[in-house]
């Protein structure tokens, strides 16, 4: 009835998220201040640590790769009207697929093992998303709750496998043996060296390119194919979907399987690119960062890439910070992450109304409406 | 004889594990019955655990710690309320955000204040913890296997918070079903429009519900850091908030069945600890992870409608807007 | 009661109520006076401002200006609580009941009479039994609301108001969900309330009800009161003209129909709802090329189920649907495939089903047709074509503003509906299902849509029209089927149809049907 004046598109897509982000960072600054450190100095340290050196940039993009995968996973489900909190579990199990291929075929040629690992990661991730998706589609079980449960089940399963089955014989810590060298994702500095460029040795690897490719594919799929169209219709209005001959259960299944596949690809970066073995909790909460990244990036691949890099910088800068400021450790990054989710995801209406009022006031005089 | 003692000790462990679960699940019940999804249970509880540990360590009083825990959890509950009730934000996201933030905030503050690598100091001074209360003759009753051992292990020897949690179940049931507040609370989670037309403030009721949730999460958190253990450590809730949520769903959002679910889940936890590496007849060693995953598997089966049917409050998760 | 009613102040008086929502002026300085012991009709088209006015009176939102006087005293109504205290009760179109509560719990909600429930419930039980005796309002007090039929649920709403000692009862479109029998029972109840000295405001857009029950009637149009008369002094035609603001064109200009071959044939079609209740009971009829078949009936008598079953949205439990001789039910032809076979569908509830509100006009213009080859370029959607096609539709159907990239909600109801219609007729269907073609549509667009539908008929399409507006059915249809309780209770040729005759049939009196 009382249709509120809409924000201009650029304000909705850029200004509002930036405003929310700004407030989250401001509050983080307040916390840093409370800890007895200077927020300004902390910011400078973080920026220098994350983008000031080749090494920093490498690490930043390496972290960002994980977040692009999980952020895309959350976004694809979101467009189908589903909140996938299970990216963490799907990434974990997807990593199992990646790791198994790498363990078994680590000595096979690269062009065999890498494509197979990609398929296995996507397949295992999708498989872990299958049951929650199916239960939502067929039995109406709330996917938020089931995916939370599946995160815990994934954690128990992986712990069991690593402790009892996959553990490297004669070793205490629950992790597998190292993969064969052919299963390593080519490192960025090696690839650049081949092109005659020198770059600091960092865990940044070819998976970053794969993540960008995934973002492009998601963008094409969601906005430029009839399947993506159907998925968005089902996500926005299930009744309209049925009317249009689109079966919502199929949309749920399709989007969740794709979502799981994207999350499951995290292992390509984390395991093949950096750890070179499967280990406990290698996902490190990236599935949850994916929620923040997707929310902040307005569930759009371009936004997700930007916010992933930002979060990558936050992670990298945060670990720098913990070296230089004894009172701050990497947990501070988690705090910032939580605040970003809070402000970008749950509190966005708080600033929407005042911002809309500002636009209504100044926009009117300009356009004469 | 040996088995009997084992079972009694197992049940005693169950009670201890169940206490924070019961408190958190009932906290979630009040919130969700009013229509506000409570994914922040884990975060509020963890924040409270830190506050209790820190304040008790500084002040030397477990009671001041408890107060701080409650204040902290209520504060987070109000943040969620402000985002979701006043500004109609996404309840799932708000709960997640609070939880993630607190996971980082606890160790961060602990490091800055105590410099002990993200935990609070060991609480070993007198009055810094809620210790077990020995009932009369409990020590001597131990000699008599039945009912003495039951008396000594199951009834006696728990902290005040355990007895509080036990009393809270009938109290919650009474409030929910026998009082005006309970009627309105249930109504607002089912059809807030009906409540609004009846001249009752929907937001007022929902705020009261999330505040109650905060108070109970506060007690739950304090029980972790100042009763069950002595001090706050990183991630000490370890998913108990989500487990409580599962118990709440398993208990169909009703006090007594929720208690049952909490006890069942706590029992699996206690059992998992006992069965670690123990070979059972016929089945051999059951991997402890399988037992730990059982509550989550059961909840999924319930949600799928394979084990009974859980019907959530009708208006849960939907921000209230006057005009439909 | 002993006072001379002529000198008694009105039960409710509104003075200069004004309310704006942004740019929309929903209520313009409304004056309204309701006499004690009367039934007062408030009539107007959708969007005339009736609900806004009543929501101000009930404290759902606050009017920007104006005064409310109850029984000669000015009252300040900020919340529903204030309205209740002033003796105002309201029965909403969508019932405000808690489905899994008992009747008794619903009645006491908000007036529990103390922090504990037991006393309040016992008191309410006694009082309700008293009310039931006084007004003939029997309801099983311990039954769950979800187990009660709609008519009884409405009774609970009225009991709620009476239990709160309401002297003024506002009923918002109370018959929309009722069968004619239930509506008659409701009217009997209202007469009783009137006799007891209560005042009733009946908000409706149905002229028949106004004539049947009210003492006075106020007509609203575009947010303003445009007339108030004693009901006996007016006629439906006069009221309708006031509502619309000009002489109503009851007949759309059209030549006699020339029905051709049978294109759609429905046989013994049965649809059951989730609870297994038959909502459509073995209905059979044909629609031929070049004719408009109108389905008349009170909303909720199986029309929606009929349309949705034919469109492939609802699963029939029995019977067959033949499209040009091909059985769609036995052949398991889904909604998508039915479109391809030439069956188009303008849904009854546009915003719920017909459009995706967050999409642009262009994206909405391909809803249901998004997998057509014309819109693809290889595996991708061809956005350029989609935009061009949308521009073409906008030009052909006078859709304004002609901007495909604009979000659909930025268009008026009439323009949205024209876009939906354009989309559905664009792929040259043989059969067109049309539900409530002019719901929430402005007058200008109504004429345009009606003319377009007649033109489609003349082009040899078969049209099945469902509308709760009897005028629309009478104006457009060549043949009229009347649905009541899920059954076709009669069929009339347009030439033989009168409002009275159809009204009787809609009330369930079987016509001298020639099936």
- Letter string b/e over residues C256-283, b meaning 16 or more CB atoms within 10 A of that residue's CB: ebebeeebbbbbebbbbeeeeebbbbeb
Task: With cut-offs at 50, 70 and 90, classify the pLDDT of residue A357.
Answer: confident
Mean pLDDT of A300-311: 95
- For residue C81, the chain B residue with the least C-alpha distance is B199
- For residue B198, the chain C residue with the least C-alpha distance is C110
Of A159, A164, A341, the CB nearest to B93: A341
Mean pLDDT of C205-224: 87
* Interfacial residues of B (vs C; Cβ cutoff 8 Å): 177-184, 186-187, 190-191, 193-201, 314, 322, 324
How far is Cα A338 from Cα A341, in angstroms, rounded to an integer? Answer: 5
Q: How far is C150 from chain A (nearest CA, A)?
A: 23
% of chain A exceeding 90 in pLDDT: 70
Q: What would be the CATH architecture of the domain defined by A9-355?
A: Orthogonal Bundle (1.10)
Residue-wise pLDDT for C124-154, tens only, equals: 999 999 988 888 788 899 999 988 888 889 9
Q: Which of A78-87, C13-22, C307-316 has the lowest mean pLDDT?
A: C13-22
Mean pLDDT estimate for chain B: 90
CB C41 within 8 A of CB A22: no
Residue C15 pLDDT = 94
Residue-wise pLDDT for C228-253, tens only, equals: 999 999 887 788 778 766 555 545 77
| C405 burial type by CB count under 10 A (0-12 exposed, 13-18 middle, 19+ buried) | exposed
- Domain borders along chain A are 9-355
% of chain B exceeding 70 in pLDDT: 98
Contact B104 A142 (CB under 8 A): no
- Is A8 part of the contact surface with chain C (CB cutoff 8 Å)? no
Contact C335 A242 (CB under 8 A): yes
Domains along the sequence of chain B with CATH: 2-303 (1.10.3470)
Matching fold, domains C12-244 and C262-354+430-506 = yes
Q: How far is A303 from chain C (nearest CA, A)?
A: 19
Would you say residue B187 has pLDDT above 60?
A: yes
Mean pLDDT of C265-291: 91
How far is Cα A232 from Cα A238, in angstroms, rounded to an integer? Answer: 10
| Global pTM value | 0.88
Mutate to test the interface with A, among B289, B301, B317 (most CBs of A within 10 A): B289
How far is Cα C127 from Cα C135, in angstroms, rounded to an integer? Answer: 12
CB B128 within 8 A of CB B56: yes
Task: With cut-offs at 50, 70 and 90, classify the pLDDT of residue A366.
Answer: very low
Task: With cut-offs at 50, 70 and 90, classify the pLDDT of residue A6.
Answer: low
Of C92, C101, C110, the CB nearest to B199: C110
Closest CA to C476 of C500, C449, C496: C449
Residue-wise pLDDT for C400-418, tens only, equals: 899 999 999 888 888 899 9
Of B91, B112, B299, the CB nearest to A35: B112
Using CA of residue C329, residue C333, residue C334, residue C338, what is the dihedral sign?
A: negative
Residues of A in contact with B303 (CB under 8 A): 135, 139, 141-142, 145-146, 149
CB C389 within 8 A of CB C396: no
- Domain borders along chain C are 12-244, 262-354+430-506
Contact A229 C311 (CB under 8 A): no
Q: How far is C85 from chain B (nearest CA, A)?
A: 9
Contact C90 B194 (CB under 8 A): no
Would you say residue B146 has pLDDT above 80?
A: no
Mean pLDDT of C485-511: 79
% of chain C exceeding 90 in pLDDT: 60
Mean pLDDT of A196-213: 95
Would you say residue B44 has pLDDT above 90?
A: yes
- Is A349 part of the contact surface with chain B (CB cutoff 8 Å)? yes
Q: How far is A77 from chain B (nearest CA, A)?
A: 15
Mean pLDDT estimate for chain A: 91
Residue C6 pLDDT = 58
Residues of B in contact with C109 (CB under 8 A): 183-184, 187, 194-195, 198, 200
How far is Cα B59 from Cα B226, in angstroms, rounded to an integer? Answer: 13
Of C21, C345, C381, the CB nearest to A1: C21
For residue C70, give the H/E element and its range. Answer: strand C65-70
Mean pLDDT of A354-368: 68
Task: With cut-offs at 50, 70 and 90, classify the pLDDT of residue A359.
Answer: confident
Contact C79 B199 (CB under 8 A): yes
Would you say residue B265 has pLDDT above 70?
A: yes
Would you say residue A208 has pLDDT above 60?
A: yes
Q: Give the CATH superfamily of C262-354+430-506.
A: P-loop containing nucleotide triphosphate hydrolases (3.40.50.300)
Mean pLDDT estimate for chain C: 88
Torsion of CA B192, B196, B202, B205, to 10 degrees: -100
Mean pLDDT of A199-209: 95
Residue C444 pLDDT = 73
- For residue C114, the chain B residue with the least C-alpha distance is B180
Phi, psi of C28, deg, nearest 5: -115, 105
How far is Cα B300 from Cα B307, in angstroms, rounded to an integer? Answer: 9
Residues of B in contact with A334 (CB under 8 A): 100-101, 103-104
Would you say residue A279 has pLDDT above 90?
A: yes
Residue A1 pLDDT = 34
Please indicate whether residue C149 or residue B241 has the higher confidence score (pLDDT).
Answer: B241
Q: How far is A361 from chain B (nearest CA, A)?
A: 22
How far is Cα A249 from Cα A124, in angstroms, rounded to an integer? Answer: 21
Would you say residue C324 has pLDDT above 70?
A: yes
Mean pLDDT of A294-315: 93
Question: Residues 51-80, chain B: which have Cβ within 8 Å of A?
Answer: 79-80
Q: Which of A283-287, C205-209, C270-274 has the lowest mean pLDDT?
A: C205-209
Residue C2 pLDDT = 44
Residue-wise pLDDT for C69-99, tens only, equals: 999 999 999 999 999 999 999 998 888 999 9
Residue-wise pLDDT for B272-320, tens only, equals: 888 877 777 777 777 888 888 989 998 888 888 776 667 788 888 888 8
Return the number of CB contacts < 8 Å for A and C.
78
Torsion of CA B113, B115, B118, B119, to 10 degrees: -80
Residue C174 pLDDT = 87
Please indicate whether residue C237 or residue B16 has the higher confidence score (pLDDT).
Answer: B16
Closest CA to C51 of C230, C176, C189: C176
Residue-wise pLDDT for A22-60, tens only, equals: 999 999 999 999 888 899 999 999 999 999 999 999 999
Contact A331 B299 (CB under 8 A): no
Contact C94 B324 (CB under 8 A): yes
Residues of B in contact with C92 (CB under 8 A): 197
Residue C173 pLDDT = 85
Task: With cut-offs at 50, 70 and 90, classify the pLDDT of residue C276.
Answer: confident
Residue C132 pLDDT = 86
Residue with tokens 């910088």: A313
Of A139, A144, A149, the CB nearest to B296: A149
Residue range C12-244, CATH number: 3.40.50.300
- Is A38 part of the contact surface with chain C (CB cutoff 8 Å)? no
- For residue C379, the chain A residue with the least C-alpha distance is A225
Would you say residue C512 has pLDDT above 60?
A: no
Residue C137 pLDDT = 81
Question: Residues 144-163, chain A: which have Cβ within 8 Å of B?
Answer: 144-146, 148-150, 152-153, 156-157, 159-160, 163
Residue-wise pLDDT for A234-248, tens only, equals: 999 999 999 999 999
Residues of C in contact with A240 (CB under 8 A): 352-356, 367
Helix, strand, coil fractions of chain C, as percent rounded to 5: 35, 25, 40
């Amino acid at each position: 009835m009382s249709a509120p004046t809409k924000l201009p598109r650029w304000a909705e897509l850029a200004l509002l998220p930036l405003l929310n982000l700004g407030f989250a960072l401001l509050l983080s600054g307040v916390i840093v201040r409370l800890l007895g450190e200077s927020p300004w100095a902390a910011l400078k340290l973080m920026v220098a640590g994350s983008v000031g050196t080749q090494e920093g940039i490498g690490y930043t993009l390496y972290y960002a790769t994980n977040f692009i995968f999980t952020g895309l996973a959350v976004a694809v489900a979101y467009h189908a009207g589903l909140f996938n909190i299970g990216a963490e579990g799907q990434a974990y199990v997807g990593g199992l697929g990646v790791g198994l291929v790498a363990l078994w075929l680590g000595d096979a040629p690269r062009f065999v093992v890498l494509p197979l690992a990609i398929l296995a990661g996507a397949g295992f991730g999708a498989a872990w998303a299958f049951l929650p998706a199916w239960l939502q589609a067929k039995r109406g079980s709330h996917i938020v709750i089931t995916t939370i449960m599946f995160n815990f089940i994934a954690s128990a399963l992986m712990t069991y496998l690593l402790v009892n089955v996959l553990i490297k014989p004669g070793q205490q810590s629950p992790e597998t043996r190292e993969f064969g060298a052919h299963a390593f994702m080519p490192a960025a500095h090696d690839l650049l060296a081949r092109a005659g460029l020198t770059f600091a040795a960092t865990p940044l690897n070819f998976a970053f390119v794969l993540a960008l490719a995934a973002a492009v594919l998601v963008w094409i799929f969601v906005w430029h194919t009839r399947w993506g169209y159907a998925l968005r219709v089902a996500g926005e209005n299930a009744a309209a979907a049925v009317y249009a001959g689109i079966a919502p259960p199929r949309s749920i299944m399709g989007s969740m399987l794709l979502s799981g596949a994207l999350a499951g690809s995290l292992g390509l970066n984390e395991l093949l690119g950096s750890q070179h073995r499967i280990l406990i909790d290698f996902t490190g909460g990236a599935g949850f960062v994916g929620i923040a990244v997707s929310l902040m990036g307005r569930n759009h691949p371009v936004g997700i890439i930007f916010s992933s890099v930002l979060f990558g910088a936050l992670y990298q800068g945060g670990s720098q910070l913990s070296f230089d400021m004894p009172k701050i450790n990497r947990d501070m990054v988690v705090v910032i992450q939580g605040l970003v989710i809070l402000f970008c995801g749950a509190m966005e209406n708080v600033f929407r109304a005042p911002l809309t009022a500002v636009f209504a006031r100044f926009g009117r005089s300009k356009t004469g409406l | 004889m040996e088995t009997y003692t084992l079972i009694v000790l197992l049940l005693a462990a169950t009670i201890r594990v169940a206490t924070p679960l019961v408190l958190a699940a009932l906290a979630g019940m009040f919130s969700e019955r009013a229509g506000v999804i409570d994914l922040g249970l884990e975060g509020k509880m963890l924040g409270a655990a830190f506050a209790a540990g820190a304040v008790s360590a500084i002040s030397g009083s477990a009671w001041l710690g408890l107060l701080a825990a409650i204040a902290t959890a209520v504060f987070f509950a109000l943040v969620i309320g402000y985002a979701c009730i006043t500004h109609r934000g996404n309840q799932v996201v708000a709960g997640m955000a609070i939880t993630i933030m607190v996971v980082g905030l606890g160790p961060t503050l602990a490091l800055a204040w105590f410099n002990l690598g993200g935990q609070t100091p060991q609480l070993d001074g007198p009055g810094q913890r809620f210790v077990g209360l020995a009932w009369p003759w409990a020590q001597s009753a131990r000699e008599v296997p039945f009912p003495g051992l039951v008396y000594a292990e199951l009834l006696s020897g728990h902290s005040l918070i355990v007895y509080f949690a036990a009393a809270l179940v009938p109290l919650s049931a009474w409030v929910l079903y026998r009082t005006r507040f309970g009627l309105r609370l249930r109504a607002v989670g089912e059809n807030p429009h009906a409540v609004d037309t009846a001249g009752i403030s929907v937001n007022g009721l929902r705020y009261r519900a999330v505040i109650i949730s905060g108070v109970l999460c506060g007690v739950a958190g304090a029980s972790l850091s100042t009763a069950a253990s002595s001090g706050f450590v990183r991630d000490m809730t370890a998913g108990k908030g989500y487990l409580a949520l599962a118990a709440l769903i398993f208990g169909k959002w009703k006090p007594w069945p929720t208690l049952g679910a909490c006890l069942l889940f706590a029992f699996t936890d206690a059992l998992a600890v006992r069965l670690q590496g123990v070979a059972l007849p016929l089945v051999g060693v059951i991997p402890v992870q399988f037992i730990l995953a059982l509550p989550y598997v059961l909840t999924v089966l319930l949600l799928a409608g394979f084990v009974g049917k859980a019907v959530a409050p009708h208006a849960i998760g939907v921000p209230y807007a006057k005009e439909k | 009661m002993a006072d001379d009613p002529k000198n008694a102040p009105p039960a409710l008086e509104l003075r200069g109520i004004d309310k704006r929502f942004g740019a929309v002026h929903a209520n313009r300085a409304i004056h309204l006076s309701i006499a004690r012991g009367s039934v007062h009709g408030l009539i107007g088209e959708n969007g005339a401002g009736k609900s806004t006015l009543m929501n101000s009176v009930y404290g759902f939102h606050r009017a920007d200006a104006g005064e409310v006087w109850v029984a000669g005293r000015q009252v300040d109504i900020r919340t529903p609580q204030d309205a209740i205290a002033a003796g105002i009760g309201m029965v909403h179109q969508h019932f405000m009941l808690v489905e899994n509560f008992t009747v008794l719990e619903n009645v006491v909600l908000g007036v529990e009479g103390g922090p504990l429930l037991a006393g309040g419930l016992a008191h309410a039980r006694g009082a309700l039994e008293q009310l039931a005796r006084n007004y003939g309002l029997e309801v099983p007090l311990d039954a769950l609301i979800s187990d009660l039929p709609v008519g009884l649920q409405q009774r609970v709403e009225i009991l709620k108001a009476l239990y709160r000692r309401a002297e003024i009862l506002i009923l918002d479109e109370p018959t929309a969900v009722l069968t004619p029998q239930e509506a008659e029972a409701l009217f009997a109840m209202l007469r009783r309330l009137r006799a007891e000295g209560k005042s009733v405001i009946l908000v409706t857009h149905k002229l028949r009800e106004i004539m049947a029950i009210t003492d006075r009637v106020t007509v609203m149009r575009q947010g303003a009161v445009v007339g108030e008369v004693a009901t006996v002094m007016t006629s439906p035609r006069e009221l309708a003209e006031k509502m619309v603001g000009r002489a109503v064109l009851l007949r759309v200009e059209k030549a006699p129909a020339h029905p051709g071959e049978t294109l759609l044939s429905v046989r013994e079609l049965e649809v059951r709802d989730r609870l297994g209740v038959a909502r459509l009971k073995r209905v059979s009829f044909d629609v031929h090329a070049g004719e408009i078949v109108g389905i008349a009936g009170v909303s909720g008598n199986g029309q929606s189920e009929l349309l949705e079953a034919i469109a492939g949205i609802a699963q029939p439990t029995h019977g067959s649907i033949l499209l040009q001789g091909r059985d769609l039910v036995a052949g398991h032809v889904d909604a998508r495939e039915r479109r391809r076979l030439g069956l188009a569908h303008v849904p009854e509830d546009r915003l719920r089903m017909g459009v995706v509100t967050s999409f642009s006009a262009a994206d909405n213009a391909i809803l249901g047709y998004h997998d057509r080859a014309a819109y693809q370029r290889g595996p991708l959607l061809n956005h350029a074509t989609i935009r061009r096609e949308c521009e073409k539709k906008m030009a052909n159907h006078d859709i304004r503003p002609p901007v495909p990239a604009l979000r659909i909600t930025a268009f008026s109801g009439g323009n949205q509906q024209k876009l939906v219609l354009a989309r559905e007729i664009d792929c040259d269907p043989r059969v067109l299902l049309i539900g409530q073609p002019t719901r929430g549509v402005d007058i200008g667009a109504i004429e345009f849509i009606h003319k377009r539908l007649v033109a489609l008929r003349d082009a040899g399409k078969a049209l099945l029209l469902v509308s709760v507006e009897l005028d629309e059915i009478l104006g457009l249809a060549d043949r009229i089927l009347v649905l009541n309780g899920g059954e076709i209770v009669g069929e009339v040729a347009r030439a033989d149809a009168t409002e009275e005759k159809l009204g009787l049939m809609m009330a369930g009196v079987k016509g001298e049907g020639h099936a």
